[in-house]
Structure 1
Amino acid sequence: MTVTAKAVAAQPTEAVLVDLPSNPVPAGARAGYFRTEDNVRLRYATWPRAAEGHRGTICLVHGRTEFIEKYFETIEDFRRRGFAVATFDWRGQGGSERLIGNPRHGHVERFSDYWLDLKSFHRQILLPECPPPFYLVGHSMGGLASLFSAIEDRMMFDRVFLSAPMIGLPNQPLPFAGMAWLTKTLCFLGLSQMPVSRPADRIPTHEAFEGNPLTSDLTRYMRTVDVYAARPELAIGPPTLGWASAAFSAMAEAARDVFPARVRVPVLMLVAASDKVVASPVTEQLGLRMRTGRHIVIAGARHELFMENDAIRAQVFAAFDAFITEQSG
């Protein structure tokens, strides 16, 4: 497959978004870089609303391995509803600064570093450049980071909408606290940057579509493949033990009895019924225990709800509209 990409540069610091015929950049993009409080360089992009009215801004945060370009269609869906959109690539992935020598391994030192990313983005980009109110939309790993942000500062976002949040991972030999202890011990022994892999972490390819755990929609799956072909440096593969240790520690914290009561922002979590990437039952259990949140199960859906087929996406956006669109503006 031959992919022709046009690099779309935007003010003010020469960040680049990949523009493809199969995945065009939505009109009005403004892209750049900012630095977090601990001096990590992150790529971001913002868009104005594309419809009449004033509903505020969607702050969109991605899952592990993901990047801005993957969400162009979804960004347009938000803009057509009257929202501005702001998003960024987490540290260690996408077009943001990589943290270790091997740029293909996903790594983070502490899960709270993602909170630093989001807090810095809110202060430097959202507050000065984007219209309030602010709504947080998080997928997978970004969903777990979003829950912690709702605890750290409940005034940052009016509502939080989560797609298949990474509250737990399936098929683990120990409880999350035990996995956190085991992986932390291995990191202490000097193995923090060693990659750990599972089938769900494979980089998408055309040949891997059949039976993939992410989406049943070939066209949306291939958009990601096309972006990787045009800009291979956006891709990351397996996470490191350091990332696993950070993630299991965060999941262990979310499993504590006191955690649900600490979340005081309205939250809606969508559960993909056919998810093989994250442990859906763990999300359902959390949804039943939260005072300000609940969950909805989307039948037949695989992990990437925003990348799924039209019928599933229609359910996702019906839930979004009831929870955010109809409550905004």
Structure 2
Amino acid sequence: MTDFIRIPSNPIPDGAKTFMFAAPDGAKLRGAFFPVADARGTIVLEPGWAEFIEKYFETIGRLHARKFNVAMMDWRGQGLSDRESAREAKWKNYFHILREDLRHFTEAHVKPRFGAPMMLMTHSMGGMPALMLLADGYDGFERALLCAPMTRLFAGPANAVFTAVSAITSAIGLGAAPVTSKEDDSKAFEGNILTSDPARHERFRQLQLAEPSAANAAPTFGWVHAATKTSKEMHQPGFFDNLQIPVRIITAGEEKLIDGGDHATIAANSDRIERVIIPGALHEIMMERDEVQEPYWKAFDTFVATG
């Protein structure tokens, strides 16, 4: 698909262009460029699980107002990027592959198109391959702002339980089985744990209805296994020893989806990582009510100003 998913409540930013490109292994991934006049730099913005480019048009508008070009891609296995190549990887080395997809997108496509300085900005699941890339010593970005990064899926004893169960189910060939058969909670506003803003919640629901092939079903045991395995790697001593750039982790004050408390553990592992908590925010901070988002954008502006 070489056009954007369109709904009336989600205007496409001026000058936007979407395109398909080949990953290093040949998988077809979808990218998008959002230029702005007189840019002061470029943001590579990467979404979370089950999200896709169009969900972030409003966020892109906020970044354009700050004079940043924006580049995005749909992660492999999500949105309108290739899904077939992700299926086996999801219970093997999925997040390592995403790390290399991000590296390739930035080096082969974003840098030839947009000028420096480059900054990385992610949400939720997008924070995991981002941290892996940065921990690898990659310095292609000047700094990174990670919104509610998925560094550990579950808090407390549940993490050990799901780690064990997902490993067993994947080992016996059931990695493709969904973790739950229940209807995706994100489709109903009442009781959702993602955002307290009904209009922004509904807008993403309408985007999913407009292009069902871009939506995701429930996560699989294989995906959980890959996530918990990568999280364990991330918590090994010395994992961040090669980190080259400043990283600011933003934690939702009312986080109920991932283990937000783990962000403190990650931040303690490197003097290049700092943590900011946004009071009253649910998991999707950039999709929250304006008054809840305000401290997030203040944290963004102060972080950029230190560069």
Q: TM-score, normalised by structure 2?
A: 0.92
In structure 2, the residue matched to 1:61 is 46
- What amino acid is the match of 1:277? L
C-alpha root-mean-square deviation of aligned residues, in Å?
2.3
Cα gap change, 1:74 to 1:112, in 2 (>3 Å)? same
Provide the C-alpha distance between the structure 2 equivalents of 1:49 and 1:256, rounded to a whole number of angstroms. Answer: 41
- The 3-state SS of whatever aligns with 1:244 is helix
**Equivalent residues of 1:100, 1:107 under 8 A apart:** no
Report whether the alignment pairs 1:147 with 2:126: no
Name which of 137, 154, 167 aligns with 1:184. 167
- What amino acid is the match of 2:177? M
**Equivalent residues of 2:252, 2:285 under 8 A apart:** yes
In structure 1, the residue matched to 2:184 is 202
Name which of 107, 112, 118 aligns with 1:123. 107
Structure 1 ranges of 4+ moved more than 3 A = 106-109, 171-176, 178-182
Cα gap change, 1:181 to 1:261, in 2 (>3 Å)? farther
Cα gap change, 1:153 to 1:126, in 2 (>3 Å)? farther
Aligned length: 306
Deviations 1:276-297 (A, max 9, x none): 1111111122223321010011
- The 3-state SS of whatever aligns with 1:74 is helix
In structure 1, the residue matched to 2:193 is 213
Report whether the alignment pairs 1:32 with 2:19: yes
Name which of 301, 313, 320 aligns with 2:281. 301
Question: In the TM superposition, what are the counterparts of 1:103-122 in structure 2 within 5 Å?
Answer: 107=90, 109-110=92-93, 111-122=95-106
**Equivalent residues of 1:107, 1:239 under 8 A apart:** no
Provide the C-alpha distance between the structure 2 equivalents of 1:30 and 1:19, rounded to a whole number of angstroms. Answer: 13
Range moving further from structure 2, 147-156 or 166-175: 166-175
Deviations 1:226-283 (A, max 9, x none): 1112111111011222211110111111222322434332000000011111111111
- What amino acid is the match of 1:195? P
Provide the C-alpha distance between the structure 2 equivalents of 1:168 and 1:308, rounded to a whole number of angstroms. Answer: 22
- What amino acid is the match of 1:56? G
Name which of 256, 259, 281 aligns with 2:236. 256
In structure 2, the residue matched to 1:165 is 149
**Equivalent residues of 1:99, 1:108 under 8 A apart:** no
1:316 shift after superposition: 0.8
- The 3-state SS of whatever aligns with 1:45 is strand
Provide the C-alpha distance between the structure 2 equivalents of 1:144 and 1:309, rounded to a whole number of angstroms. Answer: 25
1:112 shift after superposition: 0.2
- The 3-state SS of whatever aligns with 1:39 is coil
In structure 2, the residue matched to 1:8 is none
Provide the C-alpha distance between the structure 1 equivalents of 2:288 and 2:100, rounded to a whole number of angstroms. Answer: 30
- What amino acid is the match of 2:230? A
Q: TM-score, normalised by structure 1?
A: 0.86
- The 3-state SS of whatever aligns with 1:302 is coil
- The 3-state SS of whatever aligns with 1:113 is helix
1:90 shift after superposition: 0.3
- The 3-state SS of whatever aligns with 1:57 is strand
Deviations 1:149-175 (A, max 9, x none): 112242211101000000112246465
- What amino acid is the match of 1:294? E
Cα gap change, 1:47 to 1:79, in 2 (>3 Å)? same
**Equivalent residues of 1:264, 1:291 under 8 A apart:** no
- What amino acid is the match of 2:56? Y
Provide the C-alpha distance between the structure 2 equivalents of 1:202 and 1:67, rounded to a whole number of angstroms. Answer: 16
1:141 shift after superposition: 0.6
Which 5+ residue runs of structure 1 have no aligned equivalent? 1-13
Name which of 7, 24, 45 aligns with 2:32. 45
User: Percent identity among equivalent residues?
Assistant: 34
In structure 1, the residue matched to 2:205 is 225
Range moving further from structure 2, 282-291 or 311-320: 282-291
